[in-house]
């Protein structure tokens, strides 16, 4: 924000009435900004939460399942369906503490409203205008994730994550969430991960491929390249990076014949969608 040049004011002692107006205006200004917690425009949709599944997924009274935009919280233990992660229970309890007794919230939508699992995608706020995503990120109870085209609050939520990261809170300090060296990864290490490693090769076809010193390749698609500052990607070779995102298995092949072969090389791939999920380390 740039500096604003105001006209020079004559120095005089303000009257009590004038001072009162100034203080009231200052109070209103502070109150407004206290509520502007990564707040989008509009009034949102009123909803009531019925159940909290984990730090980033809730069910509403009307039966809809909501995937909270802007944050990926550690998983809670769902038994055989899905094992828990460090700080998963803490994130779920934080969501329950965030809600008021009546569990009323406001939903604000971005470009895409439904994901492939038919969950409603929304930014969630309490009735005072506090963002659930920002609340979790400031405590280190989740990682900021931004998935195009839902990027309207990307910059603001990235700043909220930085607060916890700079203070070493939650996932940024917990032993269970330290960055995994790429060289230690196995093909079973899929799901959301925080990984660090050295770039040993850079390939550029349609996508940018950063091969790390382990079975992991970072893929930046042509569609997502616009979400990254202009880079000389070849200069990244030999440097250390940290990436956060969903690691999946891929089967590398160069011919149609090898696609059908059980011997086709397997590896892991992660696709950071925005610059805030990929850091060049010093």
Question: 228: which residues sit within 8 A by CB, 6+ positions away?
Answer: 220, 274, 275, 278
Contact between 197 and 212 (Cβ < 8 Å): yes
* CATH code of the domain occupying 45-172: 2.40.50.90
Judged on CB neighbours under 10 Å (0-12, 13-18, 19+), 130 is middle
Mean pLDDT by 10 residues, the chain (282 residues): 33 38 37 60 95 97 98 88 87 95 96 97 96 98 97 97 98 97 96 97 96 98 95 96 97 54 75 96 86
**CATH fold of 179-280:** OB fold (Dihydrolipoamide Acetyltransferase, E2P) (2.40.50)
Question: 244: which residues sit within 8 A by CB, 6+ positions away?
Answer: 143, 145, 192, 193, 194, 195, 272, 277, 278
What is the pLDDT, as a whole number, of residue 36?
57
Here the tokens at position 118 are: 């038919």
The model's pTM is 0.82
What is the pLDDT, as a whole number, of residue 81?
64
What is the pLDDT, as a whole number, of residue 282?
78
Q: Cα separation of 161 and 175, whole Å? A: 18
DSSP letter for 127, please.
T
Determine how many CB atoms are found less than 10 A away from the CB of residue 108: 20
Determine how many CB atoms are found less than 10 A away from the CB of residue 193: 19
What is the pLDDT, as a whole number, of residue 37?
86
End-to-end CA distance of the chain: 28
Contact between 124 and 105 (Cβ < 8 Å): yes
What is the pLDDT, as a whole number, of residue 146?
95
What is the pLDDT, as a whole number, of residue 189?
95
Closest to 190 in 3D by CA, of 128, 271, 70: 271
Q: In the chain, what are the domain boundaries?
A: 45-172, 179-280
Question: 142: which residues sit within 8 A by CB, 6+ positions away?
Answer: 55, 56, 71, 72, 73, 74, 91, 133, 136, 170, 171
Determine the distance from the C-alpha atom of residue 60 to the mean position of all C-alpha atoms in its chain, rounded to a whole number. Answer: 22
Asked if 45-172 and 179-280 have one fold, the answer is yes
């Amino acid at each position: 924000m740039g500096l604003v040049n105001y006209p020079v004011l004559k120095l005089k002692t303000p009257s009590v009435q004038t001072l009162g107006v100034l203080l009231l205006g200052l109070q209103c200004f502070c109150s407004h900004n206290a509520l502007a917690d990564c707040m989008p425009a509009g009034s949102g949709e009123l909803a009531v939460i019925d159940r909290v599944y984990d730090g980033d997924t809730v069910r509403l009274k009307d039966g809809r399942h909501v995937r909270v935009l802007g944050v990926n919280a550690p998983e809670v233990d769902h038994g055989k369906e899905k094992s828990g992660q460090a700080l998963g229970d803490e994130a779920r309890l934080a969501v329950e503490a965030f809600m008021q007794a009546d569990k009323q919230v406001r939903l604000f939508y971005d470009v895409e409203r439904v994901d492939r699992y038919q969950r409603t995608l929304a930014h969630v706020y309490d009735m005072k205008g506090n963002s659930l995503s920002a609340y979790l990120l400031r405590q280190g109870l989740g990682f900021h994730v931004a998935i195009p085209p839902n990027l309207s609050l990307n910059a603001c939520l990235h700043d909220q994550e930085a607060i916890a990261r700079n203070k070493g809170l939650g996932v940024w300090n917990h032993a269970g969430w330290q960055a995994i060296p790429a060289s230690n990864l196995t093909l079973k290490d899929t799901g959301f991960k925080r990984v660090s490693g050295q770039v040993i090769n850079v390939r550029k076809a349609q996508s940018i491929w950063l091969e790390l010193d382990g079975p992991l390749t970072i893929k930046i698609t042509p569609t997502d390249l616009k979400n990254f500052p202009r880079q000389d990607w070849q200069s990244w070779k030999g440097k250390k990076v940290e990436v956060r995102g969903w690691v999946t298995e891929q089967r590398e092949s160069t011919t149609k014949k090898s696609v059908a072969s059980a011997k086709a090389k397997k590896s892991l791939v992660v696709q950071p969608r925005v610059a805030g999920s990929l850091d060049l380390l010093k």
